[in-house]
Structure 1
């Protein structure tokens, strides 16, 4: 296998002490012709496939940010040179690129934390096409030697655990040379079914010239990423055109995967720098035969002022862009039924697993019926090539409430909710669960002698915005943004967490029926990478210059406008009651350097309240920790509520 079908060269003009100028040249390599070119039956059913993945790009943001590309697509459709389908109801299953990438390539949905802990690479999608005689390429806009603790992105993600560890050794300055790294890396490329990575090899030099290591996040990103007067994506698109032109002349079927991360930043404007080169590439595709293109986002943008202040942004996060482009000869190959399905599904609720099944249907020598279909997500083996039911909903796709947002509220009642209602109780519950998670991760990574919080502080909620609820049968899903004062050194004044809480169950008599089903960091968190505690997830951490106070019973903080009443159980053990008109929040702490207590809490009486735990509840309170216990919330807002409890404890 060749390392790349497009040679990347950086000729330099140097003075005695420094480089004066350098240039990036993309040179074609010799691609051998299809060995069975003279056999008219060889590869006669093969369709060249383009996958254009636009990270963090919603349906609406694509149309408002890419006018030249949109116009080219309209012109191509009107000219009849390509069949262009624009999908109005693409629903994101998950909010992270890593999760969606694995879903698309493997057909499986995992949580981001699970994927990172297991360091899973991609599935076998590329291998299926390579084994069928396709030339498979992947081009992205990341440096191939880049690795970060909070992001498993681009080509390094596709390689999985081995390459990640090799890259880490280079980044951390261990004794691994670039030639050694490349030797291992190229083996992994072959193992994963990739023939080349094209101009991706130029990204490290381009990032270096821009003084950055990656294109992500406000703290490290630029308005534009350029090299010698051209945008980085100009080079990537040009290299892909060059590669595909060569492959077409050689009659080699090809599968190209292009991954662009420009949308992953807080201004919402940088993706505009892609418009000209993407429009040019779409125009190129309009002149190609035997080509099928899937251009889509994994989710909308999750960062910046628009996301923090606009309710519409929450829908956009779950509503990525999706286009399918088919040349006329491909339309003939697919047949009337499949083309009709592509047309019908433009106004049906679709997801990324539908896309995977669509692509699988085109793989040579593959029986899509033999691949397991996840019934939870309501997918057909042929994906978009089969008409999707107009009755399909988020519930039938299994994405409520775990994804947190739904663009199609069929079967549910959507209602706006005032902050003056019981949502403050739910916000307290979500905040408590997040704080417990931070503390658990810190203690697990830093040993039993540690106190509950390190640099990643105890989160104190200041206010709530963008509250909405959806009601389906006996279940109410509440979505809201929780605002936290920003940490030390952050460019923003506050950090924002989007949370989704489920209240109710299919068992109406059940009282333990509240849970945090989804949380997502809206504000950028890479700014805390340098101070973040080992073991604490980046999307949970807000760093403080001073550690979280262990003796906060002396001066408990005000949270969402309410202050706790402190109940002193012993000299070291405290209970905190934070009452609101609609419920009660309970926490506990141990103000000791070496003591641990076991606590048993019982409910002695309750009227019109729900809660999340099972009682009697037994838990341990370790020295220096602050532990969220539970919330008791008013079930019927028209009726009075009350709860009483007692506590037993002993020192361990």
Structure 2
């Protein structure tokens, strides 16, 4: 459960001008830089999960000798390099181009999610503008979404005790509030149905070229970034067959920044044999390591850099009282996805530190932070033999921190327009919730300060009906663990 440190200490960093600087204990001799490809614009056909995506990444790696005597300048789109010093290696990531150089995305007219002609609905949806509520903030909130694959609510508390304790400290009335959904219910067996429900709003795409929720944000001026915790692309893997052309680049269409290539390196993700064995790869029952560190720590490095870049942009814009581009970041972690349930422990310190940094930086005053899972563990003895395991499998972890002003608006809207005069957050904590409500929560946040009233009613900001059945919530009968006795 531990990663063996590299034999040599390598110090490497990239400055604001894109110049890479390396200090190796043995000097410049035998120092090489592997420039990893930027995968955001790759077409779907190049992102097949196994024996395609990883092999293409390795094929496109460019190895260049390093010398401190001349500047080593990275291409502006390069997000990651591997510095190799003798038998030791390290990864250097950076967010590039800078947000100041990133143009506002203009979506193509044939797939612009803002246009009624591209909507699945035949009718123009009713909308609500938050300015109708006195003294309401109109600034659009940022969204940070951390998805923990295969982690039930109880497993979160068992294996991530430090993170669980830190998460509780996010409840600071007056600044931001934390809510946990105790009866959050998955809508299928695996990542497939549950993430499609959250990212698309439907399990079976009803239209060609279905765009994930981060495209919805980008169309509305958000800066979007995604970190894949394994060597795969969500869109290709789960909805790729619904596109009319495999030459389509959904990454370029829906993301400003993407980090995937480091997690396809053979030191972590085997390029021969079985990539999903018990002793190496993203389903390993031993620690997942890459160059002396946990794989998830490289993901957190990039996540911290994204936040610094975006917050720096916020600070500069606020000084001049200009519009601020909000951001939407999604990250997936696979440490919970293995039969023993023990690898998840390796994530605890890093996840807790990240949550603390969000809390202490003040970002939660204008950012919605969601930490959740798609489903519980469906591997191992507990799931195979015990009813408890099958219940946990359908009860994934879900917690959300919302800024105080968003909490106040939700309470006011529920009182004035809701059918039930209760706190929506308190009510929903003990009611049947699913990834479908998560999807509509995403949509409301992306549309702020004017949202579709139907999405609001189906989101976590509105009190969902008490005692609703699995069928009403979109959960198939064979997966339902919250049955209501007949009266």
Q: TM-score range by the shorter chain?
A: 0.5 to 0.7
Q: 1:94 and 1:158, CA in 2 relative to 1: closer, same or farther beyond 3 A?
A: closer
Gaps of 5+ in 2: 1-37, 41-75, 105-130, 132-136, 315-324, 415-421
Partner of 1:11: 83
Deviations 1:31-90 (A, max 9, x none): 217999xxxx9x952110112211111111111110110011122326875311111000
Answer whether contact 1:119 1:160 (CA < 8 A) is retained. Answer: no
Q: SS at 2:445's partner residue?
A: coil
State whether residues 440 and 459 of structure 2, in contact with CA within 8 Å, keep that contact through their aligned partners in structure 1: yes
The answer for the alignment partner of 1:284 in structure 2 is: 357
Mapped to 1, the partners of 2:244 and 2:376 lie a distance apart of 27
Match of 1:359 among 442, 463, 480: 442
Mapped partners of 1:120, 1:230: distance in 2: 41
Q: Which of 255, 262, 286 is 1:202 aligned to?
A: 262
Aligned to 1:301: 377
Look up the SS of the partner of 2:480 in the other structure. coil
1:268 aligned counterpart, secondary structure? coil
Q: How does 1:555-566 map to 2 (within 5 A)?
A: none
SS at match of 1:384: coil
- Distance, in Å, in 2 between the alignment partners of 1:203 and 1:163 is 25
2:215 matched to 1:127? yes
Q: Given that residues 50 and 255 in structure 1 are in contact (C-alpha distance below 8 angstroms), is that contact kept between their aligned partners in structure 2?
A: yes
In the alignment of these two chains, the number of paired residues is 358
Distance in 2 of aligned mates of 1:330 and 1:201:
36
Flag the 1:397–1:33 CA change in 2: closer, same or farther, 3 A: same
Aligned to 1:224, the other structure's residue is in SS state coil
CA contact (8 A) 1:300 1:317 kept: yes
Aligned to 2:333: 260
Which among 387, 392, 397 is matched to residue 473 of structure 2? 397
User: Per-residue deviation at 1:259?
Assistant: 1.5
Indicate if the aligned counterparts of 1:300 and 1:316 stay in contact, CA closer than 8 A.
yes
Select which of 72, 88, 96 maps to 1:21: 88
Report the Cα distance in structure 2 between the residues aligned to 1:188 and 1:13, rounded to whole angstroms: 36
> How far 1:160 moved relative to its partner?
1.5
Q: How far did 1:163 drift?
A: 9.4
CA contact (8 A) 2:267 2:290 kept: no
Q: Does the 8 Å contact 2:186/2:395 carry over to 1? A: yes
Greater helix content: 2
Give CA-to-partner distance per residue, 1:396-444, whole Å, 9 cap, x none: 335352xx233322225xxxxxxxxxxxxxxxxxxxxxxxxxxxxxxxx
Residue of structure 2 equivalent to 1:410: 484
Q: Contact conserved, 2:189 with 2:375, CA < 8 A, in 1?
A: yes
Matched, 1:243 2:310: no
Query: In the TM superposition, what is the alpha-carbon distance from 1:195 to its structure 2 partner?
Result: 1.1
- Partners of 1:56 and 1:164 lie apart in 2 by 31
Residues 154 and 396 of structure 1: CA distance in aligned 2, closer, same or farther (over 3 Å): closer
Q: Is the 8 Å Cα contact of residues 226 and 330 (structure 2) preserved in structure 1?
A: yes
- Cα distance in 2 between the residues matched to 1:284 and 1:319: 28
CA deviations on 1:524-574 (whole Å, 9 max, x unpaired) are xxxxxxxxxxxxxxxxxxxxxxxxxxxxxxxxxxxxxxxxxxxxxxxxxxx
- 1:342 is matched with 425
281, 288, 298: which one aligns with 1:225: 288
**Structure 1 residue 31 corresponds to structure 2 residue 99:** yes
Normalised by the length of structure 1, the TM-score is 0.50
Q: Which residue pairs with 2:155 in the alignment?
A: 61
Quickly say closer, same or farther: Cα 1:209–1:319, change in 2 above 3 A: closer
CA contact (8 A) 2:411 2:424 kept: no
**1:625-640 to 2 correspondences below 5 Å:** none
Q: Distance in 2 between matches of 1:208 and 1:97?
A: 25
The structure in which a higher percent of residues are strand is 1
Distance in 2 between the 1:335 and 1:45 partners?
Answer: 18
Secondary structure of 2:186 counterpart: coil
Gaps of at least 5 residues in structure 1 are 15-19, 145-152, 167-183, 372-379, 413-472, 474-652
Question: Higher relative contact order by CA 8 Å / sep ≥ 6: 1 or 2?
Answer: 2
Q: Deviations over 1:104-130 (max 9, x none)?
A: 2222123xxxx8xx9987535222211
2:251 to 189, 200, 204: 189
Q: 1:162 to 1:364 in 2, by over 3 A?
A: closer
What is the root-mean-square deviation in Å for CA atoms of aligned residues?
3.5
Contact 1:12 1:22 in 2 (8 A): yes
In 1, Cα distance between equivalents of 2:207 and 2:84: 38
For normalisation by structure 2, the TM-score amounts to 0.65
Preserved contact between residue 368 and residue 401 of structure 2 (Cα < 8 Å): yes
